[in-house]
Chains A and B, each alone.
Chain A
Amino acid sequence: MTLPFGTDAWAAALITEINASSEYRNAAAKWGDGFNGNVLLVFEADAAIPKPHALLVELAKGACQGASFVSGASHPKAGFGLRAPFSVWRDVLSRKTLAATAILTGKMKVEGDRMTLLKHTAAHRALVSCAAALDTEFPTAG
C-alpha cells in the first residue's frame, strides 16, 4: 500500500520494516549498545516540500523501539542526526543515490560522533534501505 511521506502511518510502517529486516538486525547489532543510538532524520525544506520534516527513529541493538515525526530540527532524545535537503533524501530513498555517497560527499550532513557513525556504516545503510523499501508517495514540487 502506498503511504504518504510524513504521516504517522509512514512512521509506523518504518518501525515494522526495520524490525522485520534481517539486514538491519545483523548490521546494527552493536548500534546503540552503550550509547544513545536514536537517530533524527531531518528532511530540509526545498522546492519539493515547503516545510522541513524531522523523523525521530529510536534504535538500539538491531531493533527499532519507535519512530515518529517530530517538530523542530533537533530533538533531545536524538543521539545522532542525518540532515539533507528533501530532494537528496528522495534520491536516496528511491535508491537513485547511495546513502553512503550522500554522507561521504557531504550532501547529507551527519550530527553526533563522526567516528561512531563511521564504525557503523552498514547499520545506517540498512536503516536507509528499510525506509527505501516502503512504498512511498513523495510530495511533488509545487
Chain B
Amino acid sequence: MDKLYAPLVQLLDGTVRTPDQFTADHLSNYGRIFQWTPRFVVNPQSQKDVVALVAFCRTNKLHLTNRGSGHSQSQLAISQDGVLLEMTTMNRIGAVDAKALTVDVEPGVVWRDLTHHLKKWSLVPPVLTNNLGVTVGGTLSMAGIGVASFKYGSQGDNVVELDVVTGEGRVVTCSPERNDDLFWGAIAGLGSFGIITRARLKLRPMKAMTRTYYLLYDDLRVFLEDARSAMDSGRWDHLESWGAPCAQGTRPVGGKRQVFAKWFYPFHLTVEYDPGSPPDDKALLSGLRPYDNLYTDDCPTIDFLERMVPVFELWRKAGTWEFMHPWIECVLPWETAADCIEQVLADTPPGIQVGGHVLIWPAKGTSSRSKNFKVPEGENLVGFGLLPAVPQKFWGEMSERLENVSRMMLMFGAKRYLSGWVNFTADEWKAHFGARWNELAALKRRYDPDSILNPGFLPFEATP
C-alpha cells in the first residue's frame, strides 16, 4: 500500500482511490491521445478538502491536476504519478438571486443540471456550450464557447465572482474588481494558478420557445457574409453553423486516390419568443441569401439547449465516442477565414463526419474581455475547427496531417482554442499568448510557487 494513502484518507472528507481502483476514464481524457496513470484520484467533498489537499501535495512534493468531466484533449485533466482531483463531486447549486440575475455554483456542477435547475425561474446562463455534459469549472478554465458567444462572449465573460484555492493553499475570492489578476488568471487559465471552488455566474431571462431557421449555403463566402450580417442585425439569439460534406468520389492527392467532397454550409439561426408571439419569419430572414431554406423548427428553449444530445448519443452508440479526438479548433481573422477554410476543407475527407464535426462559427472579436482566451485582432472573427474521431490505428498518418492543419491555421493568423489537441513548441506557446505570456509566468510564480498545479501542458518551466 502506498505510504501516503493512509494520511491522505485521514485528511479528507472525500474519497481517495489508488491505481487498483482506477477506471479507464482516470487514465485519459476525451482526447484519448495520452494514457497517464496518477498516484491517487481524489474526489473532494468541499473547499476544505481542496485546501487540505493542496497543502498535502506541497508538503509531499506531489503534482495536483484538477479535472471536471475531462473533455480536454491534450495534457490536461490527466496526471502522471500525481494526484488527480476529480471535481465532479463538488456539484452543489446554491442560491439563485433572481433580482441580481446570478447563481452560485460549485465547479463540478454540470451545465445541463444547472439549466434544468434554473428553468423554474425562466433564467439561463447567457452562454452554453454545445455539450451540456461538461462542468462549470472545466469550461470556465478553458473559456467556454457556444452559439450565443457572438453576443455574450465566452462563459468566462459571464462570471461575477470566483473562490479560488491557489497553489499555495490560500482561499481567495476574486472578481473583475477584486483580486482581478487572479480572477483573469483563473478564467481560461487552464487550472494553472488555482482551483476554482465556487463561481457566481451571471444569468439572463429566457423566453419559453425558440424558432430555428435551417438555412443551407453552397458558397462559403456568401455564407460568411450572411453570417456577419446576421451577427450585426441584432435579430438573433443563437447562431450555429458548420461544414457538411457531400462525397464526390475519389481523386489523386499526393499520389494516392482519396475521397473528396463538395462542401455545404448549414446555418441555423434561432430566435427565442414567448408563446403566443411567434416571430415574423419574413422580416427575420430578409436580406439573407441561402442556397435553400430547408426547415423551420419550433421547440421549447430548454430542448433547444439540449439539441446536441441525440448526436452525442449516436456517437456513443456507434463507438466513436471511445476513439481518439485530436480536435483542431481555432479562431480566424475575418480577412483570411474563407481562404483558410477552403484550403483545409479541400483536403478533408468526408469521413470526418463519422463521429466528428466541422465547426464554422461567426464570432465577434469585441465580445470577450478574457485575457487568456486569445483571439486575433478585429471586430469580426470566424471560429473554425476540425473535430475528428480517429481510430487508434490511423493515428500515425492522421497526426502529421492534423498538425499541418494547425500550422496552416496559425499561418493564416488564427489563435488555437486550447481544449483541443495542441502540440505547440515553447516558442509557439509564447507566440500564442504574446505579451500575456510573461504575465502568466509571473502569476504562476505568485500563486503556484512550487508549480504543483496542472503540469505537462503550458511550459512555464521553459520560461527563464
Contacts and interface: CB of A to CB of B under 8 A. Distances in A.
Interface of A: 21-23, 26, 95, 98, 100-101, 104-105, 114-115, 118-119, 121-122, 125-126, 128-129, 132-133
Contact of A98 (B252, B340, B404): B404
Nearest to B408: A104
Nearest to A105: B407
B251 A23 contact: yes
B252 A23 contact: yes
A129 B343 contact: no
Contacts of A115: 336, 339
A-B pairs, 3 with minimum CB distance: A104-B407, A23-B252, A100-B404
Interface string B386-415: 000000000000001101100110011000
B408 A121 contact: yes
Given A98-B254, A114-B411, A122 B347 contact: yes
B346 interface: yes
Interface of B: 251-255, 336, 339-340, 342-343, 346-347, 400-401, 403-404, 407-408, 411-412
| Residue of B251, B254, B336, B347 most packed against chain A (CB within 10 A) | B254
Given A118-B339, A122-B343, A122-B346, 17 more contacts: A21-B252, A22-B251, A23-B252, A95-B255, A98-B400, A98-B401, A100-B408, A101-B400, A101-B403, A104-B408, A105-B407, A115-B336, A118-B408, A122-B347, A125-B253, A129-B254, A132-B255
A118 B404 contact: no
A126 B254 CA distance: 6
Contacts of B412: 118
B343 A119 contact: yes
A19 B17 CA distance: 65
Nearest to B407: A104
Interface residues of chain B: helix, strand, loop or mixed (majority): helix
Say whether chain A's binding surface is mostly helix, strand, loop, or mixed.
helix
B404 A101 contact: yes
A28 B127 CA distance: 43
B323 to A, nearest CB: 23
Nearest to B254: A129
A109 to B, nearest CB: 14
Contact of A125 (B254, B336, B403): B254
A119 B339 contact: yes
Contacts of A104: 404, 407-408, 411
B339 A129 contact: no
Contacts of A122: 253, 343, 346-347
A132 B253 CA distance: 12
A133 B343 contact: no
A118 B343 contact: yes
Contacts of A121: 343, 347, 408
A121 B401 CA distance: 13
Contacts of A132: 255
Nearest to B344: A121
A2 B207 CA distance: 73
A126 B255 CA distance: 8
B417 to A, nearest CB: 19
A23 B253 contact: yes
Most chain B CB neighbours (cut-off 10 Å) among A22, A26, A118, A128: A118
Contacts of A95: 254-255
Contacts of B400: 98, 101
Contacts of A125: 253-254
